[in-house]
Structure 1
Amino acid sequence: MGTDNLFKKRQQKAQKQPTRATKNLSANKVLLIVCEGEKTEKNYFEALKHMFKVPSVQVVIDAGSGSAPNSVVKYAKEKLDKNPNVYDEIYCVFDKDKHAKFNNAHNTIKNIQESNKKSNKDIIFKGIVSDPCFEFWILLHFTKTTQQFGASGLSPCDEVQKHKKFLKDYKKDYDFTKIIESSLETAIKNANEVNALNESQSISPYTQVVYLVQRIKEIGKNND
């Protein structure tokens, strides 16, 4: 079943589903992943969902956001408000880098979570943050590093971008399928180790993308 068909069926059934508890009996969880205005994140998650055969994952780009975290969160909230009975889990994927409104985005997500809790809505609404940027997650497929990016005078994210030497013929519409197939478990291991250091020592870099990747893997296994 394709994503579009599943999405339309959820919309058609919305009036027949008075509670979220009823909808959660569905075998297929519908995940919405909202990314910044670049193709890298979308291409990666599209390759991942096809690998794990999870068509119920929708990946969209907030084309108007540029790289503004707050805009990504706002766009995701608008999607939720327009389709309150469609999505089970919503993830906002954005970079920390040096965004002035990063804390605003974080606080907005927290407010949405608290509002959902008070309204007894069991939908998951989370931010998936990488410090400094999503490309750090890509880098972890090849090597583990705790380098403090940005010390060279470049922006932290620009400094990570220099490591694209690992990606031969890299471009915005890059197909990540082979990298995921060969190196995903390496990336998960590296990310978990780096994140553990971040939690114990409060240092960057880190990436929460690993948690979303593991969630998609889990859903894929449950659908087998």
Structure 2
Amino acid sequence: MPKKTRAIKVTNEKHAWNRKSSPTGYRVETIPMNKSILIVCEGQTEELYFKSFPVLGVRVDAVNLKGQSKLKMVESTQEILDSSAVAYDEIWCVFDMDVRRGEDEYSDFDNAIHQAESLGFKVAYSNDAFELWFYLHFEYTDAEHLRTFYYEELGKRLGLNYEKDGKRYDFCLKIYNLLGEHKSSFQEIAIERARSLFEEKADLPYHEQNPVTKVFELVEELNRNLRR
């Protein structure tokens, strides 16, 4: 049974003129956790992006496994679960496929998705890059691009050398807010664009689904639990 909350009155005696009659000045001391989600990523960008969602009543643990192979990521996800005291309600693996690496990458990518799904994990995969998800906030594309295309286009819109500075810790910390505040960026439209791309290519082998990003499914899940 969730711990009872205690309402605490917050007043401002020094600036009485700043008091508001509505809403009342109460804060909730504790929020019951209704759900727990584990997100296992292969990079810092993804980890910090998902940690930035202002969810309420949901525990979100995002873990960066720092560039392991896709199959190894899935194995490591199971190891995390086996050693964790948390009984996660949902487990997500987030990785992409670098087309430049060729056939070995195709096999690893496809097999990792099959293995994850067989274990009951959800997979927010992208082909060719996670940055396709960011790009869809600004523009639609159904053409196959290498990740350098997304780096260049995001750099133009966000005013930086994305390939160099877009991976920096301080930038990754604020990318969620940057996308939310940019006048030409729209998450709702990005979701619909990503959904359309996936529906067009869903019958193809995973490594041939290019461009596709299923990040939109994880974003929708987090959005269902946003602080309003």
- TM-score under structure 1 normalisation? 0.69
Seen in structure 2, the aligned counterparts of structure 1 residues 178 and 53 have a Cα distance that, compared at 3 Å, is: farther
Measure, in 1, the Cα distance between the counterparts of 2:98 and 2:57.
30
> Which SS does the other structure have where 1:56 is aligned?
strand
Q: Is the 8 A contact 1:96 1:130 kept in 2?
A: yes
After superposition, the C-alpha distances for 1:158-205 in whole angstroms (9 at most, x for unaligned) are 333332222223422321213135521121122122222223787521
Aligned to 1:88: 89
Match of 2:178 in 1: 178
Supply the distance in 1 between the matched residues of 2:33 and 2:49 (Cα, whole angstroms): 24
- Kindly tell me the number of residue pairs found equivalent between the two proteins: 175
What CA deviation, in whole Å up to 9, does each residue of 1:16-63 have, x standing for no partner? xxxxxxxxxx85211010100x2211121122x22x446511111013
User: How far apart are 1:85 and its partner, in Å?
Assistant: 4.6
Structure number with bigger Rg: 2
Match of 1:59 among 62, 80, 85: 62
The corresponding residue for 1:191 is 194
Report the equivalent of 1:42. Answer: 47
* Structure 2 residue runs without a partner (length 5+): 1-31, 100-104
What secondary structure sits across from 1:41 in the alignment?
A: helix
Give the structure 2 partner of residue 135 of structure 1. Answer: 131
- RMSD (CA atoms): 2.4
Runs of 4+ in 1 over 6 A off after TM superposition: none
Asked if structure 1 preserves the Cα contact closer than 8 Å seen for 2:133 and 2:213, the reply is yes
Task: Determine what percentage of the aligned residue pairs are the same residue.
Answer: 31
Match of 1:209 in 2: 215
Amino acid at match of 1:192: R
* Distance (Å, rounded) in 2 between the aligned partners of 1:143 and 1:86: 39
Q: Is the CA contact (8 Å cut-off) linking 1:29 and 1:219 kept in structure 2?
A: no
Q: Distance in 1 between matches of 2:209 and 2:40?
A: 26
Q: Check the 8 A contact 1:33/1:60 in 2, yes or no.
A: yes
The separation in 1 between residues aligned to 2:141 and 2:68, in whole angstroms, is 24
Q: Is it true that 1:158 corresponds to 2:148 in the alignment?
A: yes
- TM-score normalised per structure 2: 0.68
Q: Please identify, of 166-175 and 126-135, the stretch whose mean Cα deviation from structure 2 is larger.
A: 166-175
Contact in 2 for aligned 1:67/1:94 (Cα 8 Å): no
Structure 1 gap segments, 5+ residues each: 1-25, 114-124, 150-155
**Partner of 1:90: helix, strand, or coil?**
strand
Compute the displacement of 1:103 (Å): 2.1
